[in-house]
Chain A
Amino acid sequence: MRSVLQLRTPEDGSGSPGLNGSHKVRFREPQIEMAHGAGGKATRRLIDGLFVPLLYGVQGAHAELSDAAHVEIDGTRVAITTDSFVVRPLRFPGGSIGELAVNGTVNDLAVSGATAVALVVSFVLEAGLPSGALESEVRAMASAARAAGVSIVGGDTKVVEHGKADQMYIATTGIGRQLTGVALGARLVRPGDRIILSGPIGDHGITILLARGELDLEAGLQSDTRSVLPLVEALVAAAAPGLRWMRDPTRGGVATALNELALDCGLGIHLTESRIPIRDEVRGACELLGLDPLHIANEGQFLAVVAPEYADAALAALHATAGGEAAAVIGDVREEPAAAVLVTTGYGGSRIVDMLVGDPLPRIC
């Protein structure tokens, strides 16, 4: 379950609720449902209505959420983020839960404009888990950390009864150093800005769906899990003054990430369908199952909003970096439709793409 919550020191100095008493909880639902963890609308309601008022007292309009928080320690700005990983099956073509756990947190820091320096990891293990399975994941994490240039400096392990924890849950918390010259935020986005996507969508989500074996589909696909830090660094080097916002479109896909942007900046996000990079196999699987590729999870891609005068340089920098060859400008920002994401076909037909409710389900109708 990817947690979208991040802890951020409010710029307006509204302070912690502990000093003034707790702020009003607006979350009224009687119990927690699966949808609350899916990364879409229900998750936002939980965060806006329960976590935000109680944890940092931002009242009124919803808090802008990003992938990492920034704190200042003795004058140095440090980025910090956390995430937990639940996936079935644990191993799949292209990776495993261990790699997701490392890359996911490295990427959250990267799209917040920070280089991951250190991770700590927390394991919740199900009693009965074969030790070999754990060893595989720890090896995978070590390898992913090396590849990403980050150190794993500590961790914790808990074991729960058989039947809980789906074999293994992993949570990673990372701290990172801010890249200089980078200022990010939805409030910086302007009409005319361009939307850049680092590579083809849907590889991870479809790989997982197929790996579960319930749909009896085979394809030569693998998860795209990787650290996007090298690409982000190249982008920053080429276009930092024009870089407005970044996000990694994990659970809920590109549609959910861009809807969050649209809600946060109040502007309209326009995408050109034919410009969105997607592999044939992902497209085929989505058509077959009636899924929208824009809702499918990615673990090795990121979105960036860049001022128009920097877009060419940004794209060139990505194309010149290993792994960024398929990067593309997929759309732009406009005044209308406010707070919504619109996708347009080659002949001028358009549709609104909304945030997901729950997980994408195959359909036959």
Chain B
Amino acid sequence: MCLAIPGKIVELVDTQPNLAVVDVTGVRRRVDLGLLQDDPPVPGDWVLIHVGFAMSKISEQDAAEQMRTLAMLGEDQAALEEVRGYGLESSP
């Protein structure tokens, strides 16, 4: 139920309140910002677009943090395996 795509706000439409031009890798569409009026986005912000309305601002910080968490997956395991290789554990 939910095809929603990230897009970057390029400019606000001055003739219409709550409308902005959003860019999705070169495709542009006017998007209604009415659902984000509590914290209106500005040009340069990324928003999640669904049926021509912005649903949410995309937090670049949270995205980066997620990627960091994911990148560490398996690194812990790799580190663990390296340590095991040192033979420091006493046999049970």
Q: What distance in Å separates the Cβ of B67 from its nearest Cβ neighbour in chain A?
A: 16
For B26, the chain A residues whose CB sits under 8 A away are 219-220, 279-281, 284
Interface size on B, residues (CB 8 A): 16
Per the bound structure, the CA–CA distance linking A171 and B50 in Å amounts to 40
In the complex, are the beta carbons of B5 and A287 less than 8 A apart?
yes
Is residue B3 within 8 Å, beta carbon to beta carbon, of the partner chain? Answer: yes
Is residue B20 within 8 Å, beta carbon to beta carbon, of the partner chain? Answer: no
Partner of A217 from the list B1, B29, B51 (CB cut-off 8 Å) is B29
Interface string of A283-298 (1 = CB under 8 A from B): 1110110100000000
Least CB separation from A206: chain B residue: B27
In the complex, are the beta carbons of A290 and B27 less than 8 A apart?
no
Per the bound structure, the CA–CA distance linking A279 and B26 in Å amounts to 10
Q: What distance in Å separates the Cβ of B73 from its nearest Cβ neighbour in chain A?
A: 14
For A363, the chain B residues whose CB sits under 8 A away are 3
Least CB separation from A284: chain B residue: B25
Are A288 and B27 CB-contacts (below 8 A) given A364-B50, A364-B51? Answer: yes
Least CB separation from A287: chain B residue: B5
For B2, the chain A residues whose CB sits under 8 A away are 365
> How many A-B contacts at CB < 8 Å in the complex?
43
In the complex, are the beta carbons of B3 and A284 less than 8 A apart?
no
In the complex, are the beta carbons of A284 and B30 less than 8 A apart?
no
Partner of A365 from the list B1, B27, B28, B52 (CB cut-off 8 Å) is B1
Q: What distance in Å separates the Cβ of A201 from its nearest Cβ neighbour in chain B?
A: 15
Least CB separation from B30: chain A residue: A216
For B5, the chain A residues whose CB sits under 8 A away are 287-288
Are A281 and B25 CB-contacts (below 8 A) given A290-B3, A364-B50, A365-B1? Answer: yes
For B49, the chain A residues whose CB sits under 8 A away are 288
Interface string of A237-265 (1 = CB under 8 A from B): 00000000000000000000000000000
In the complex, are the beta carbons of B30 and A219 less than 8 A apart?
no
Least CB separation from A362: chain B residue: B3
Q: What distance in Å separates the Cβ of B48 from its nearest Cβ neighbour in chain A?
A: 12
Is residue B42 within 8 Å, beta carbon to beta carbon, of the partner chain? Answer: no
Q: Which B residues form the contact surface with A (CB < 8 A)?
A: 1-3, 5, 7, 24-30, 49-52
Please list 12 pairs of residues, one from A and one from B, whose beta carbons are closer than 8 Å in the complex, sorted by A's number: A215-B29, A216-B29, A216-B52, A219-B26, A220-B26, A279-B26, A281-B27, A283-B25, A284-B26, A284-B27, A285-B24, A288-B29
Q: Which 3 A-B pairs have the closest CB atoms?
A: A284-B25, A281-B26, A280-B25
